[in-house]
Amino acid sequence: MKEKLKALAATGNLSTGFREETLVEAVRQGASFVGCDAGSTDSGPYYLGSGKPRGPREGTKRNLRIMIREALQSGIPVVIGSAGHAGGRPHLEWTLEIIHELAQENAWHFKLAAIDSEVRKDVLVDALRRGRISPLFPAPDLQELSIHKAERFVAMMGIEPIQSALKAGAQIVIAGRCSDVAIFAALPVLQGIPKSVAFHAGKILECGSASVVQRYYPDCMSAELDQNGFTVEPPNPAFRCTPQSVAAHTLYENADPYHLVESGGVLDTTAAQYQAVSDRAVRVTGSSFIPSAEYTVRIEGATLVGYRSIVVAGIRDPLILRQLDTFLSSLRSVVERKIADSLKLRPDAYNLNFRVYGRDGSLGVLEPVRQLDGHEVGLIIDVIASTQSLAADILPLVWHTGLHHPIPEQSGLISNFAFPFSPPGMDAGPVYRFCVNHIWRLDDPCEPFQMTLENV
Amino acid sequence: MRELWEFTQLIRSKNAGPFELTFDIMFKNSESFHEVMGAGQLSAALIAQLYHVRAEDVRFFVIEPLLAVKISIPRPVFSGDMDDTDVYGGQFHGPLVQMPVTRL
């Protein structure tokens, strides 16, 4: 059992980057491993649904190059979680391709573990039939049919699959969808650090330098863990942590400030103490880890909803602005008739949304301020249909009709929209929806995750 | 009458996963914290009304040691759904910034 070990987070998101000198210095000062979170569901369902990484590829490659180079030199492991942003199989493969490229370019040799977290639909259907899947709140309805209709599912791994990879001697671990915290808790727990310490440290580390007082730019973060707690200190001398900044970070992106639900249990930070040990390092003690009766993993999935085409237009005529609601609703009825006549489509066969920036573009129906006080609005005409060509066919019917849609105060042909672009409209590609917010009860924490070991 | 932002150093909203929104309000100091909490406008009932959710679905945490309030609600529209307006949930705090605080 290790007395102390030092966990180093390269940055909050692998694609964001860090300062090379900070990471180099932090590894040389004695890190036990380098971890980095590469993904999130924050950017919406597109990446999981489409299988596309969020990139950028060159930036991701640069960051991996520095991390792997330094780690190999110091003989410590690298753990990457939620590869390629959504952690599906194409995202994992994209990341592995970069790793192989780097190994070849730099003549590096190491043992590589890839952990696939994509879940086959028949496996999920079987789990659903066996009553192993339960909804969280709020959750979309999950049926066998909705599983079959979805594009892709991933399960979010906890610490155990990463630990298996490390136990097998992997120096570089690339994990598919993974709990952010598990990236940083896996190795410490394997080496005997209590889960209460390792999971809380993981929660602080997973966002990189986000828990400093003022994050001038994304960079590394490190924590020294022992049996009783951990000390978090930014390796970049320009940054500092205070008890307030570290404690406040425990709140970030988490619905409950004291209870962080992870696979295998709940981290309870109710009794956590945050003490300054210098003007830039903070000692954290007092959290507890409550093991759960059953081991569960979160499932994520995305379903294709349709294809989007949009137009951006400005409206500046005060006469239109003062009757904007009436204008848009009468435009909608004229357009619905046109679409029915020319494309034989009923209104329920497509989605037409007028997004009015300057009124309720950001909040939609939740906007409490209903009156318009500005002298112009930005309008996005948002069309979603079952195919891209259909959306692209509907769109000009809407914008061209709207361009000349009459108002009572003006007689003669008017042009209502200021289009900044030619062509006015553009195709925005496939649209997905998160179709599951459920947990899956497992007998073995590694069950849905396939590990592949390779000597690169 | 003063507004909420005059008492705080941070008011933010953010997704807590694609299905929930969470608001963090951090006060400038103990005096600001007690003035706002004592005035009583900032409550689960206000959040329910402002964000069209049931009061029982509002999780409202007062974290006095941090001089903070954390509020979590189910997302009225899931992140990235067809009619979503804010994929990251980063601007939903807007209406809270100017919440009137009436002095006791």
| ipTM field | 0.94
* pLDDT score at B10: 93
Only one residue has tokens 């709207």, namely A402
Long-range contacts of A372-376 (CB under 8 A, 24+ apart): A372/A321, A372/A322, A372/A324, A375/A316, A375/A318, A375/A321, A376/A314, A376/A315, A376/A316, A376/A321
Nearest residue of chain B to residue A44 (CA atoms): B80
pTM: 0.95
Q: Would the CB atoms of A41 and B17 count as touching at under 8 Å? A: yes
Closest CA to A49 of A441, A449, A438, A429: A429
Q: Would the CB atoms of A365 and B76 count as touching at under 8 Å? A: yes
Beta strand pairing call for B20-27 and B8-15: antiparallel
Contact B80, A437 (CB under 8 A): no
* pLDDT score at B48: 96
* pLDDT score at B103: 74
Between the alpha carbon of residue A141 and those of residues A135, A198, A307, B13, the distances in Å are 8, 35, 22, 26
Q: Would the CB atoms of B19 and A254 count as touching at under 8 Å? A: no
What pLDDT tens digit does each residue of chain A (456 aa) get? 567 999 999 999 999 999 999 999 999 999 999 999 999 999 999 999 999 999 899 999 999 999 999 999 999 999 999 999 999 999 999 999 999 999 999 999 999 999 999 999 999 999 999 999 999 999 999 999 999 999 999 999 999 999 999 999 999 999 999 999 999 999 999 999 999 999 999 999 999 999 999 999 999 999 999 999 999 999 999 999 999 899 988 888 888 999 999 999 999 999 999 999 999 999 999 999 999 999 999 999 999 999 999 999 999 999 999 999 999 999 999 999 999 999 999 999 999 999 999 999 999 989 988 888 899 999 999 999 999 999 999 999 999 999 999 999 999 999 999 999 999 999 999 999 999 999 999 999 999 999 999 999
Residue A342 CA to residue A401 CA, distance in Å, equals 13
Interface test mutation site (partner A, options B82, B87, B98, B99, max chain A beta carbons within 10 A): B82
Contact A259, A268 (CB under 8 A): yes
Among A46, A362, A434, the residue with its CB nearest the CB of B91 is A362
Task: Work out the pLDDT band at B1, boundaries 50, 70, 90.
Answer: confident
Cβ count within 10 A of residue A350: 19
Question: What pairs with residue A438 in β-bridges?
Answer: A135, A299
Contacts of A210 by beta carbon, 8 Å cutoff, 6+ apart? A12, A221, A249, A252
The pLDDT tens digits of the residues spanning A362-415 come to 999 899 888 888 999 999 999 999 999 999 999 999 999 999 999 999 999 999
CA distance B17 to chain A (A): 7
Nearest residue of chain A to residue B99 (CA atoms): A368
Among B74, B84, B87, the residue with its CB nearest the CB of A138 is B74
Burial status of residue A327 (CB atoms within 10 A of its CB: 0-12, 13-18, 19 or more): buried
The pLDDT tens digits of the residues spanning B49-74 come to 999 999 999 999 999 988 999 999 99
Residue A427 CA to residue A390 CA, distance in Å, equals 11
pLDDT of B104 over the 70 cut: no
Q: What beta strand segments (E) does A389-455 contain?
A: 425-434, 438-442, 450-455
Residue A291 CA to residue A370 CA, distance in Å, equals 48
**Residues of B with CB below 8 A from A368's CB?**
50, 95
Residue A51 CA to residue A302 CA, distance in Å, equals 10
Contact A222, A230 (CB under 8 A): no
CA distance B91 to chain A (A): 7
Question: What pairs with residue A173 in β-bridges?
Answer: A79, A113
Residue A8 CA to residue A34 CA, distance in Å, equals 5
Residue B100 CA to residue B5 CA, distance in Å, equals 9
Among A362, A363, A434, the residue with its CB nearest the CB of B80 is A434
Cβ count within 10 A of residue A271: 10
Question: What pairs with residue A379 in β-bridges?
Answer: A313, A356
